[in-house]
C-alpha cells in the first residue's frame, strides 16, 4: 500500500473512562492493534510503513517517523500518555508535512509537466479522537483549522496541504462512559468529517466496541493504491446533449488515457457491505439523482505483475499552459477537475498505440454509467485550460464501461 500514519488524540479528555473500564486512549491503542492484525492478513501489507503522530507540540508530536522500525512504533504506541491539548489542526498539519517531506525532491508531483497517476506515494492518515472541543494554548475552538506557519519546500505549488494520493480517515470515539457519554461538539464533528471528505476519505462514528472493530476492518478494505480525482459533468442535463459552448467535438481524435472501475471485484463488494451494514458514517448525499454530476472519487492504480510497481505512459494534463515566460508556476488544485461530456461517442484507439486504463471507485457516476448497459460507447473527458487557448477544448481520454457488465474504465 504505502504509508499508514496513525494520528492519535493525546489530549487530557482521552483519559475519560468508558463503560468497559478502560480510558479512551487505551481504546484507541486497541483499535490500532486490531487494524494491524487485520491488515497483516493481506499480502500487500508487506510494503506498508507505519508512522505515529500524537497531539503533542512539535517536534515532539512525531513519535515514530520515516526511519523508525516497527518495534519502535509499537513501543511508542504503548507509551502514549493523554496529557496535552485537543490540538487536532496542529497535529494534522504536522502529519501532512511529515508525509510531504521528500515529495518535491523525489519529483513525485511533477509540477508543470502533468500529473502521473502511476508515480505516486500513497498514504492514509487514520485519526482517532474523542471529538471533544478543540483547544490550544490561548482559546477553545469550535471548528477545525490548520494553523499557519513554516511549510515544506514546494508546498506553495499546491493549494491544499495534502496531495491527491493522501486520504484522511477519522474515527470518532463515542463509547458511553461510566457516567454517561463524554462532552463532544457537533460543530467539531462536522468540520472533522468535512476535512476527511475533502481528501477523499471519510469519517466513522464508533459508539461501541463492535462498531469500532468493524470500522478498522472497513479501513483495511480501503487501502488501495490510487489517486483521487474530481469528475464533473459539463453540457446539458441529458446524456444525449452536445458539448458545452466553446468546446470542440473531437471524437475521432486519438486518446492515450483510459479509466475503468470494477464494482464486481470481491474486495469492493466486501467494502460496500461493511460500510452500509455495519459502520455508522455521517449521512451521505448519494441519494440525490444528480449526485453523479459532480463526484470526487479515487482511480485505482494497479502495480505491474513483473516488478510490483505501477506503470503507465501518459500524464493527466495540467489545468494551465506552461508558458516559459512565467516567473513561477501557478498553484494547482490538489484534485484535478476532470470534465466529462455525456454525448455517447465511439472510442477511437490506434492499434498498437499505448494507452493507460484505470478502474474507478464505485460512486453515483459509475452506477449511472453501468445503468446504461452499453459498453460499446464512451464519454469524452477534458481538462479545462490545458491548451494554449483557454477553455474546454482538448480531449485527453474517455469514460467507458468495460465489456464486463460491472466494470467502468477511464481510458
For 207-234, write each residue's pLDDT tens digit.
999 999 999 999 999 998 999 999 999 9
Q: How many CA atoms lie within 13 A of 217 on its CB side?
A: 16
For residue 310, name the pLDDT band (cuts at 50, 70, 90). confident
pLDDT of residue 287: 58
C-alpha span between 57 and 26 (Å, rounded): 21
Whether residue 241 is predicted with pLDDT greater than 60 in this model: the reply is: no
HEC secondary structure over the chain: CCEEEEEECCEHHHHCEECCCCEHHHHHHHHHHHHHHHHCCCHHHHHCEEEEECCCCCCCCEEECCCCCHHHHHHHHHCCCCCECCCHHHHHHHHHHHHCCCCCCCCCCCCCCCECCCCCCCEEEEEEECCCCEECCCCEECCCCCCCCCCCCCHHHECCCCCCCEEEEEEEECCCEECECCCCCHHHHHHHHHHHHHCCCEEEEECCHHHHHHHHHHHHCCCCCEEEEEEEEECCCCCCCCCCCCCCCCCCCCCCEEEEEECCCHHHHHHHHHHHHCCECCCCCCCCCCHHHEEEEEEECCECCCCCCECCCCCECCCCCCCCCCCCCCCECCCCEEEEECCCECCCCCCCCCCEEEEECCCHHHHHHHHHCCCCCEEEEECCCCCCCCCCCCEEEEEEECCCCCEEEEC
pLDDT top residue among 186 and 103: 103
Find the angle CA(322)-CA(327)-CA(328) to the nearest 5 degrees. Answer: 65
For residue 96, name the pLDDT band (cuts at 50, 70, 90). very high
In contact, 98 and 64? CB cutoff 8 Å: no
Highest mean pLDDT among 53-57, 153-157, 346-350: 53-57
Q: Note the maximum CA span of the chain.
A: 70
For residues 104-133, give the mean pLDDT. 88
Residue whose C-alpha cell reads 446533449 in the numeric block: 241
For residue 59, name the pLDDT band (cuts at 50, 70, 90). confident
| pTM assigned to the model | 0.83
pLDDT of residue 248: 39
pLDDT of residue 131: 77
Of 24-33, 134-143, 211-220, the poorest mean pLDDT is in: 134-143
Whether residue 90 is predicted with pLDDT greater than 80 in this model: the reply is: yes
pLDDT of residue 384: 92
pLDDT top residue among 209 and 304: 209
C-alpha span between 52 and 33 (Å, rounded): 13
Whether residue 181 is predicted with pLDDT greater than 60 in this model: the reply is: no
Q: Kindly report whether the peptide bond that precedes residue 59 is cis, defined as omega within 30 degrees of 0.
A: yes
For residue 136, name the pLDDT band (cuts at 50, 70, 90). low
C-alpha span between 274 and 391 (Å, rounded): 42
pLDDT of residue 283: 42
For residue 184, name the pLDDT band (cuts at 50, 70, 90). low
pLDDT of residue 187: 72
pLDDT of residue 374: 81
Whether residue 99 is predicted with pLDDT greater than 60 in this model: the reply is: yes
For residues 355-361, give the mean pLDDT. 90
For the packed helices 266-277 and 209-220, what is the interaxial angle rounded to 10 degrees? 160
Q: Which residues neighbour 343 within 8 Å (Cβ) at sequence distance 6 or greater? A: 235, 239, 240, 241, 242, 243, 249, 251, 379, 380
pLDDT of residue 281: 40
pLDDT top residue among 52 and 309: 52
Q: Which of 1, 227, 234 has the alpha carbon at shortest distance from 115?
A: 227
pLDDT top residue among 105 and 72: 72
For 245-297, write each residue's pLDDT tens digit.
343 333 333 444 455 434 334 333 334 344 433 344 444 444 577 889 999 99
Amino acid at each position: 500500500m504505502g504509508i499508514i500514519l496513525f494520528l492519535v488524540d493525546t489530549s487530557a479528555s482521552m483519559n475519560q473512562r468508558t463503560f468497559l473500564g478502560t480510558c479512551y486512549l487505551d481504546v484507541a491503542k486497541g483499535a490500532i492493534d486490531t487494524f494491524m492484525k487485520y491488515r497483516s492478513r493481506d499480502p500487500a501489507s508487506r510494503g506498508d510503513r507505519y508512522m505515529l503522530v500524537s497531539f503533542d507540540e512539535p517536534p515532539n508530536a512525531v513519535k515514530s517517523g520515516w526511519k523508525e522500525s516497527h518495534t519502535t512504533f509499537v513501543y511508542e504506541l504503548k507509551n502514549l500518555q493523554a496529557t496535552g491539548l485537543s490540538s487536532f489542526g496542529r497535529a494534522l498539519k504536522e502529519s501532512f508535512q511529515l508525509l510531504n517531506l521528500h515529495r518535491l525532491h523525489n519529483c513525485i508531483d511533477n509540477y508543470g509537466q502533468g500529473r502521473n497517476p502511476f508515480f505516486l506515494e500513497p498514504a492514509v492518515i487514520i485519526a482517532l479522537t474523542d471529538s471533544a472541543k478543540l483547544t490550544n494554548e490561548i482559546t477553545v475552538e469550535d471548528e477545525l483549522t490548520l494553523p499557519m506557519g513554516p511549510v515544506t519546500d514546494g508546498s506553495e505549488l499546491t493549494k491544499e496541504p495534502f496531495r491527491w494520493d493522501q486520504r484522511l480517515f477519522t474515527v470518532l470515539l463515542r463509547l458511553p462512559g461510566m457516567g454517561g457519554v463524554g462532552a463532544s461538539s457537533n460543530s467539531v464533528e462536522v468540520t472533522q468529517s468535512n476535512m476527511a471528505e475533502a481528501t477523499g476519505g471519510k469519517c466513522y462514528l464508533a459508539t461501541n466496541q463492535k462498531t469500532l472493530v468493524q470500522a478498522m476492518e472497513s479501513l483495511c478494505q480501503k487501502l488501495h493504491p490510487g489517486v483521487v480525482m474530481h469528475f464533473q459533468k459539463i453540457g446539458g442535463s441529458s446524456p444525449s446533449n452536445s458539448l458545452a459552448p466553446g468546446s470542440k467535438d473531437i471524437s475521432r481524435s486519438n486518446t492515450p488515457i483510459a479509466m475503468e472501475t470494477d464494482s464486481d471485484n470481491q474486495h469492493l463488494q466486501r467494502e460496500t457491505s461493511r460500510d452500509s451494514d455495519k459502520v455508522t458514517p455521517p449521512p451521505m448525499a448519494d441519494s440525490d439523482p444528480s449526485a453523479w454530476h459532480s463526484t470526487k472519487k479515487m482511480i485505482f492504480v494497479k502495480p505491474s505483475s513483473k516488478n510490483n510497481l505501477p506503470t503507465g505512459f501518459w500524464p493527466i494534463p495540467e489545468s494551465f499552459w506552461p508558458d516559459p515566460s512565467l516567473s513561477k508556476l501557478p498553484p494547482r488544485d490538489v484534485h484535478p477537475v476532470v470534465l466529462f461530456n455525456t454525448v455517447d461517442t465511439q472510442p477511437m484507439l490506434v492499434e498498437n498505440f499505448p494507452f493507460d486504463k484505470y478502474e474507478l471507485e464505485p460512486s453515483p457516476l459509475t452506477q449511472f454509467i453501468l445503468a446504461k448497459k452499453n459498453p460499446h460507447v464512451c464519454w469524452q473527458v477534458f481538462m479545462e485550460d490545458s491548451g494554449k487557448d483557454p477553455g474546454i477544448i482538448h480531449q485527453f481520454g474517455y469514460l467507458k464501461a468495460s465489456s464486463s457488465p460491472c466494470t467502468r474504465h477511464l481510458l
